[in-house]
């Protein structure tokens, strides 16, 4: 995992950019919907990670459901 993680972190954004570029050539404006979906998923992941880090730093137990 010492080599795999940096390679994955470097190649994933590159592959995503190339995929969107090629998808735009194939599907045209429909790729706008795909890009919006990718941005929404990314925002959800970032929001979840930031919230988990904030809760971990505060030392409070997670709220019951």
- 42/37 Cα distance (integer angstroms): 9
Q: Quick check: pTM over 0.85? A: no
Q: What is the pLDDT along the chain (65 residues), one digit of tens a residue?
A: 688 888 888 898 899 999 999 999 999 889 999 999 999 999 999 999 999 999 888 876 666 77
What is the structure's pLDDT at 62? 66
- 16/38 Cα distance (integer angstroms): 9
Residues 6+ apart with CB under 8 A from 55: 62
Residue linked to tokens 């954004």: 13
What is the structure's pLDDT at 51? 92
What is the structure's pLDDT at 14? 93
């Amino acid at each position: 995992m010492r080599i795999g993680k940096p390679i994955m972190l470097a190649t994933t954004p590159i592959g995503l950019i190339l995929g969107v570029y090629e998808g735009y050539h194939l599907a045209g404006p429909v790729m706008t919907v795909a890009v919006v979906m990718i941005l929404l998923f990314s925002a959800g992941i970032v929001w979840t990670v930031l919230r988990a880090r904030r809760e971990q730093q505060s030392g409070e137990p997670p709220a019951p459901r």
